[in-house]
Structure 1
Amino acid sequence: MATRLNPYISFAGDARQAVEFYQEVFGGTLTLSTYGDVSPEQAGAVADKVMHSMLETDGGLTLMCADNPPGTEHKPGNDVAVSLSGEDAGELRGYWDKLSSGGAVAVPLEKQMWGDVFGMCTDRFGVTWMVNISERG
């Protein structure tokens, strides 16, 4: 297997809802383990929280998500963004429509000065997404 780079997003308790939403957006196979699955005797109040999840699509997209580990601070903010880019305008516009629905659009998906169609939004879970549709041939 080749080395891959993919985002890993931490959540403050709603990782399951978020990764299931992303599966609705992108399709693919979702594997998910809870703290209770890994250590039932120690999980306690976080037994049903996501310790690790991985969403893999047939198109090669990979996204990992988890609830913040117990005893650690969750710091949501603008330090993580996920970038989707390519030439398939229909596919990328479909992702944009779903991701921006219920969220906030910072940059509308439209032609930019560098020649591509680009948009940036924050989805309903607070994750920033950048979509770039290449217009170069």
Structure 2
Amino acid sequence: MTVNVTPHLNFRGDARTALEFYQSVFGGDLVVTTYADMGNAADPAEADLVVWGQVAAANGFRVMAYDVPASRPWSQGDDPFFVSVRGDDVEEMDAAWKRLAEGAFIVQPFGSAPWAERYGMLKDRFGVTWVLDVLGEQ
């Protein structure tokens, strides 16, 4: 049996833009289904919002997202989760870091750490906190 865990991010109107950005960072295929596509847009103003979306890359990166409708309460809160991306290729992770850092608040610059060949933490322009690392030899 194989089990995969995929972060599912909730937004209020930014899901498509966030998914497009994550695709530009990590590559892969983007699939977006809107409330209109599903035929369940209770509010016509929300018809083009994302009811389900995903970026899936050949290297194993996966993230899903949707726009919480206005009829449901939603709060991003303070650091409710971190999305951790662990790779084994320093160059690949460094390139992802540089793209993800555009417009981000850097919590910990991407560099060497006592427990990892590379480690960094940032809060992206959508308010999502990301941890990227390359463990190296332990």
Fold match (TM-score > 0.5): yes
Give the secondary-structure state (helix, strand or coil) at the position aligned to 1:96: helix
Letter in 1 for 2:128: V
- Using the alignment, how far apart are the partners of 2:135 and 2:15 within structure 1? 31
- Whether the aligned pair in 2 keeps the contact of 1:30 and 1:55 (CA below 8 Å) is yes
The aligned residue for residue 34 of structure 1 is 34
Distance 1:39 1:11, change over 3 A: same
Q: Distance in 1 between matches of 2:68 and 2:41?
A: 19
Hey, what's the Cα distance between the residues in 2 that align with 1:88 and 1:94?
10
1:35–1:43: 8 Å Cα contact kept in structure 2?
no
Give matches, 1:62-101, under 5 Å: 62-76=62-76, 77-101=78-102
Shift of residue 115, structure 1, vs aligned partner: 4.2
Match of 2:134 in 1: 133
**Equivalent position amino acid for 2:111 in 1:** E
Q: Which residue of 2 aligns with 1:17?
A: 17
Give me the identity figure in percent: 34
Per-residue deviation, residues 50-69 of structure 1 (Å, max 9, x unmatched): 00001110111111011013
Distance 2:84 2:73 in 1: 25
Q: Call closer, same or farther: CA 1:56–1:99 in 2, change over 3 Å.
A: same
CA distance 1:41–1:99, shift in 2 (3 Å): closer
**Segments of 4+ in structure 1 off by > 3 A?**
40-43
Query: Superposition pairs for residues 39-54 of structure 1, below 5 Å?
Result: 39=39, 42-54=42-54
Per the normalisation by structure 2, the TM-score is 0.91
Range with bigger deviation, 36-45 or 98-107: 36-45
Q: What stretches of structure 2 of length at least 5 have no aligned partner?
A: none
Contiguous gaps of at least 5 residues in structure 1: none
**1:53 alignment partner, SS class:** strand
Per-residue CA shift, 1:33-80, capped at 9, x if unaligned? 001110156452210100000111011111101101341122113112
**What TM-score, normalized by structure 1, do the two folds share?**
0.91
Give the C-alpha shift of residue 104 in structure 1. 0.5
